[in-house]
């Protein structure tokens, strides 16, 4: 991906579709819902037509919009009244990787969000705070709580390793 701001919608989708989908999937935990969220993100981009200062600003806008669309997804009446089917990812993972992935998926949304942005997208706590519109200490607290939850959940699973 180039370091310049993309303006053509097709180029934007091509450059960022995978990132937006992965972020949505990590948060909503369902392939179909992640596809819907990703589509909503790009529709929002077309409707809003924001002006970006840099490629990083464009990426941050897309991630922030993805997080917001995922939150909207969980607030919807339909989501509150239905229960999705468990699905398995088509990517083969080792048993240890699957255990960790399942533990991350079980985290509350606010913790999954900061874990995803920190470990997968590589943002710093300060950058995550700016993306989410919260204080940096809030992000650090959420990361700490997420790590503790993961440690408690995974403790018994990896004692023999």
pLDDT per residue as tens digits for the range 108-135? 888 988 988 888 788 899 989 988 889 9
pLDDT tens sequence across 38-83 = 999 999 998 998 888 998 999 999 999 999 998 888 886 555 445 4
pLDDT per position as a tens digit, 4-29: 888 888 888 999 999 999 989 888 88
Could you give the domains of the chain? 1-87 (1.10.1740.10), 89-161 (1.10.10.10)
Three-class DSSP category at 136: helix
Given a contact cutoff of 8 angstroms between Cβ atoms, the answer to whether 66 and 37 are in contact is yes
What whole-number distance in Å separates Cα of residue 8 and Cα of residue 159? 51
Q: Which of 30-34, 72-76, 149-153 has the lowest mean pLDDT?
A: 72-76
């Amino acid at each position: 991906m180039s370091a310049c701001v993309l303006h053509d919608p097709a180029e934007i989708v091509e450059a960022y579709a995978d990132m937006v989908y992965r972020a949505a999937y990590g948060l909503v935990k369902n392939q179909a819902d992640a596809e819907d969220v990703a589509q909503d993100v790009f529709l929002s981009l077309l409707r809003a037509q924001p002006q970006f200062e840099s490629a990083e600003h464009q990426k941050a806008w897309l991630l922030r919009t993805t997080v917001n669309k995922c939150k909207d997804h969980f607030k919807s009446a339909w989501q509150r009244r239905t229960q999705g089917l468990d699905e398995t990812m088509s990517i083969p993972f080792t048993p240890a990787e699957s255990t960790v992935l399942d533990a991350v998926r079980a985290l509350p949304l606010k913790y999954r969000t900061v874990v995803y942005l920190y470990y997968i997208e590589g943002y710093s706590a300060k950058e995550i705070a700016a993306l989410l519109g919260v204080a940096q200490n809030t992000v650090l607290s959420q990361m700490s709580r997420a790590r503790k939850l993961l440690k408690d959940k995974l403790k018994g699973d990896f004692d023999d390793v």
